[in-house]
Structures are given as C-alpha cells and as structure tokens.
Amino acid sequence: MPLRMSTLFVRTLRDDPADAELPSHRLLVRAGYIRRAAPGIYSWLPLGYRVLRNIERVVRTEMDAIGAQEVHFPALLPREPYEASNRWTEYGDGIFRLKDRKDGDYLLGPTHEEMFTLLVKDLYSSYKDLPLSIYQIQTKYRDEARPRAGLLRGREFVMKDSYSFDVTDEAFLVSYQAHRDAYVRIFDRLGLRYVIVAAMSGAMGGSASEEFLAIADNGEDTYVRSPGGYAANVEAVRTPVPDPVPYDDAPAAHAEHTPDTPTIATLVDHLNEAFPRTDRPWRSADTLKNVLVVLRHPDGTTEPVAIGLPGDRDVDLKRLSAQVEPAEVEPFTDDDFTRHPDLAKGYIGPGVLGEKNTSGIRYLLDPRVVDGTRWVTGADVTGSHVIDLVAGRDFSGDGTIEAAEIRAGDPAPDGSGPLELARGIEMGHIFQLGRRFAEALSLQVLDENGRLVTVTMGSYGVGVSRAVAAIVENSHDEAGIIWPREVAPADVHLVVTGKDPVKDPEIFAESERITAELEACGVSVLLDDRVKVSPGVKFTDAELIGVPTIVVVGRGLTDGVVEVKDRRSGDRIQVSVANVVTHLVEVVGAAQQGDP
C-alpha cells in the first residue's frame, strides 16, 4: 500500500522550531518525522517510524548474519543487579530511578550488561554452551545532563545492544572481531561517513574499546588522526611522555616579585621584561599553571583536585571528565577558595598542593611534567612566582592525568606523525569488558578440565534512534533531508500536480496507475495526491521530506512523459509514461545492489 499524503498523519512546517539549532533536529521536526514530548523525549510520526524501523532492519540483518540471537529485556529493572555491579551508585544522577507500591527500588535501564549476564548465568553452566552472542533493540533511558539536538542526545532513545560470552580471551577476540565487522557493514549500509577510533571505556570499565564516529562538524565528540593511521577519540589520546631531564646543574629555585600577573599572558610579559632569558624569550610553555576543580563522586561526596599543566595549554573538560568518570567535574568556586585560605588565587603553586602539603588537595600533573623539567609557577603568595622550580627535585604530584587539550600538530602517541582534529557523532561503541560483570555477578562455567572459570564478555552498542539524526546531519541541503535509499521512508515520492480529479482526471488516474504498478513491483511510493494543493507546495514538501527519487506527473502527460528527479544530484530527466515503471524499478534495484 502506498503512503498517501492526503491522509498521512503528518504536518510539514514552513518555519524552524524555536528550540532547534542543528539541521537534523530542525529538518526532522519540520518534515514531520518526530515531535517533542518533553526535553530529550520524542514521539515518532509515521514517516519517522518507518525510517527508524528501516535502520533497525539493517542492524538486525547484520547482527543475525554473525549468529547473534535477538532477545528482548524489560526496560523496567530491579535495583539488585545494578547494586552488585556498583552501577546503581556509579550512575549517580544519570539514570531514572523509581519506586513500586511496596517501596522497592527500580530503574529504567540505561544499558543492560547486568541483566544479560544474569540471564546467561541462569541458563548456562558449561564451556560447551559458549560462545554466545545475544542482542536486543530496546528503548533506553538516561537522565542526560544536557539532552541535545533532538534525537542526537535523548533521555529516551533506541539502542541496539549486544553482549558476547566466551570462555577464553582468544575466543573473545573472535566474537569481538565479528561484531566489529558487522558494525562496518551496518554503517556502510546506513550511508554514513564514519571513522573507527580508540575510545575510553567510561562507566563500562573493561580494558579497551573502539567507537564508530559519524564524521560531522556538529558532533559532540572530537577525534584525532595521524598520517600513519592512528585514530582515537580525543578523550583516549595518551600524551607521549618525554624522557626525564638531568637537573644536577639546574640553579636553585628562587621566588620573585611579579606584581599584577594573575594570568599566563601577563606573567610571560613580566618575565621577559624583568627577568629576560639569555637564550630566548620566555614562553607560556615555560610556566606551570595549576587549575583547581571539584570532583563530585557518585556517593555525593566532593573532593577538590589541582591539575598542573604547561601554561600554553588549557584543561579540556571532556578529557578530564573521561578520566575521572564516574565522578563529575564541577568548578572550584569562591566559597571553595574561602575554605582553603592557603590558596593565593592566580598565584597557586605546588608549594601548597599535594597530599603532603598544607591544603591536602590532590595534585595531578600533566604527563609532560617529568623529572628535571624546569618551571615558573605560583609561589602561593599574591604577586609572586617561583622561577627554576624543578620537577622531581622541588616538587612532585600525587599522580598524572590526561586532562590537557590536544592540539592539531601534536605528535601521535605511536610516533605515526602529527595529529589532525575533527568532530564526530558517536554511533557505535564496542567494549572489551573482560570479566568485570561476570565477576561481579559470578558468571562462571565449567571448562574442559572441569574447572570453574569466569566468563569473558564484550558489549556492543549502536545508537539506532541517534542514527536517524546522524544520517540527516550527513545528508541534507537547504531544501531538506536527502535519505540514503536503504533507510528512506519510501523509494519514490510521486507528486500529482493536478488540482483535483475532476479538473485533471488524466493526471490523477495516471498517477494512481503508476503508483499501483510500482507497488506491485515492490517499489514503495509516497503519493502526494492532495487535492487543491498547489504544485509548488507539493514540490517544497517533497524536497523537505527527502525521498531519494521524486516523480512529477503533470502537463507532460500530453507528450506522454513524466519527470524523474534525483533528490541528491538535482538531475531531472523526462521518461516516457510507458517506460517509467521499468525505469524506476531499475533505479531502486540498482541502489539496492549497493549503488548509493
């Protein structure tokens, strides 16, 4: 059955919704795919739901093809399993929690590692049962701090999550690779431009993970690439650690009067004026800047932390957050300064930082601050800095942290050349979980020798509803959406340009005939059969809605032709009425053979 615009439950909008900044959000609302129900929560209209199901179909086919079996878990989950994995606490404000009438604790599932692990434990007990990969396509709930951009970051969203279970690490790697290959096929079929990057594992724990990022300027993730093939989410980039520098000949540290130099720029200017170097001018990279933040731990406690890093770099909040997860980073406020009177704002130095020192504030250093490096830094007295302060001799931290920004041109950690930066949208994330969940929930099986061994797991997510928006970010123009054929809500959008069936009987009749024949050949049609709607309005809607092939049936019929337009290239051709069905079957069929 064709979709008929005359009866379709849709209203296209001429104007952008007020709350929408990104093209995908704007266009999906304007073209009548989704409607906002609450912040980060959306209803699907018929066109949108068709696209969503098309994406699900692609994901499902490729998961089935690697032998993963589809299951379906509840979204409403009991507290206990999440208690056992400690994620009831770790998720903090990030999940929706609720109580039943008996005061029992429940949550709406943000991801299902615990439940899958327990179900396998329930049913399986031997190495003979493994390997196993199971998956679901399910609605997930996360109380995101910043729901954003419509479907891109929702508080309710659809995810495909799968889990692999293996006896040995070697067997696990086979399951992991099978998933990775399936993801490549999924994102190829969805028509996304994407990269695969090394990633942080976040709340999952586990040893290693990779992300599939759709390349998009509007993406929230930043990733790096080197000419030699290194690729990583910026959160996961490890700074190459320089060799220690001998410091036997280094002069003793000396505090100097540096009035009105609370910023790196004012300090460097002052140094060059009052304490010029003989070899070269002072640079901001010679200074050690100490940035204070507060960590809020999932149990609600807070902890001030100082980060010491070269003065030419800023703290990258996303990198810092990824390092301290599940704790959240909050600003160090004036009240915090009041609580720590030994901190001289603008002139803070290692003198008061670190567990061994007066403030008791944990002091974490950038990996570049290796032993023997010499710094200018705060003397913990307003208007004063220390020069020639040598790391390892005059101060040390309580550890290192990867919190400094990564800049274009920085060296790749594996020596594969200078990094370039770009932005992306996280579409998929595959985790080597190891035994974290299996241990927490004691999922063990008997191995070949009758010994109990803990199962090793992987978990693998695809943002299914996010993909709807990411595809639009990747594929649209001024006029509207341009769907890749695989996910489009229909194969052909047929515009009937006549006024009504009484005035233009032939146009309406031919449109109906072509539509029926196309449908009979398996080509799905969105038929704009609205009466008394101008052709201009119909064309505008067709471009907005974004079906890849637009057919215009109108005055050309007197010459025996209709117009076929390619939504992406804008190319139009006249096709004879007699051939149009064959022609369209070919266009759609060729695309299904892998031709975009």
In the complex, which residues of this chain contact ligand ATP (CB under 6 A)? Answer: 111, 142, 144, 153-154, 157, 159, 202, 426-429, 461, 463, 465-466
Q: What is the 3-state secondary structure (H, E, C) of 65-130?
A: HCCCEECCCCCEEEHHHHHHCCHHHHCHHHCCEEECCCCCEEEECCCCHHHHHHHHHHHCCEHHHC
Pick 427 or 551: Cβ nearer Mg ion: 427
Pick 90 or 543: Cβ nearer ligand ATP: 90
Contacts of 491 by beta carbon, 8 Å cutoff, 6+ apart: 485, 518, 523, 524, 525, 547, 548, 549, 584, 588
Q: How far is the CB of 111 from ligand ATP (least distance, A)?
A: 5
Q: For the chain, how many residues are written?
A: 596
Tell me: does residue 153 bind Mg ion (CB under 5 A).
no
With CB under 5 to 8 Å by kind, the binding choice for 463 among ligand ATP, Mg ion, none is ligand ATP
Pick 213 or 580: Cβ nearer Mg ion: 213
DSSP state of 177: H
DSSP result, 294-360: EEE-TTS-EEEEEEEEETT--B-HHHHHHHHTTSEEEE--HHHHHH-TT--TT---TTT-STTSTT-
Q: How far is the CB of 246 from ligand ATP (least distance, A)?
A: 43
* Angle, CA 553 vertex, CA 547 and CA 555 arms, to 5°: 145
Contacts of 1 by beta carbon, 8 Å cutoff, 6+ apart: 519
By CB under 5 A, name the one of 25, 189, 429, 436 that touches Mg ion: 429
Joined together, the tokens standing for residue 82 give: 């999440």
Cis omega (within 30 of 0) on the bond before 326?
Answer: yes
With CB under 5 to 8 Å by kind, the binding choice for 428 among ligand ATP, Mg ion, none is ligand ATP
Closest of 456, 440, 460 to residue 170, by C-alpha: 456
Q: How far is the CB of 417 from Mg ion (least distance, A)?
A: 27
Q: How far is the CB of 151 from Mg ion (least distance, A)?
A: 16
Q: How far is the CB of 158 from ligand ATP (least distance, A)?
A: 8
> Element (H or E) spanning 380, and its range?
strand 374-381
First-last CA distance in the chain = 25
Pick 303 or 325: Cβ nearer ligand ATP: 325
With CB under 5 to 8 Å by kind, the binding choice for 159 among Mg ion, ligand ATP, none is ligand ATP
DSSP result, 429-473: EEEEEETHHHHHTT-EEE-TTS-EEE-EEEEEEEEHHHHHHHHHH
Pick 438 or 467: Cβ nearer ligand ATP: 467
Q: How far is CA 456 from CA 93, 207, 235, 581, in A?
A: 29, 12, 25, 53
With CB under 5 to 8 Å by kind, the binding choice for 112 among ligand ATP, Mg ion, none is none
- # of chain residues touching Mg ion (CB under 5 A): 1
The residue at minimum Cβ distance from ligand ATP is 463
Question: Are the C-beta atoms of residues 574 and 471 closer than 8 Å to each other?
Answer: no
With CB under 5 to 8 Å by kind, the binding choice for 466 among Mg ion, ligand ATP, none is ligand ATP
Pick 56 or 210: Cβ nearer Mg ion: 210
Q: How far is the CB of 163 from ligand ATP (least distance, A)?
A: 12
With CB under 5 to 8 Å by kind, the binding choice for 209 among Mg ion, ligand ATP, none is none
Q: How far is the CB of 321 from ligand ATP (least distance, A)?
A: 10
Q: How far is the CB of 511 from ligand ATP (least distance, A)?
A: 39
Report d(CA 225, CA 293) in Å as an integer: 29
With CB under 5 to 8 Å by kind, the binding choice for 456 among Mg ion, ligand ATP, none is none
Pick 157 or 230: Cβ nearer ligand ATP: 157
Closest of 428, 570, 476, 586 to residue 217, by C-alpha: 476
Pick 47 or 427: Cβ nearer Mg ion: 427
Residue owning tokens 């070697």: 170
Range 444-473, binding Mg ion (CB under 5 A): none
Q: Give the binding range for Mg ion (CB under 5 A) out of 101-109, 146-154, 287-295, 422-430.
A: 422-430
Q: How far is the CB of 426 from ligand ATP (least distance, A)?
A: 4
Q: How far is the CB of 94 from Mg ion (least distance, A)?
A: 13
Pick 111 or 549: Cβ nearer Mg ion: 111
With CB under 5 to 8 Å by kind, the binding choice for 130 among Mg ion, ligand ATP, none is none
Contacts of 391 by beta carbon, 8 Å cutoff, 6+ apart: 365, 369, 370, 371, 372, 373, 374, 375
Pick 206 or 310: Cβ nearer ligand ATP: 206
Residues in the site for Mg ion, rule: CB under 5 A? 429
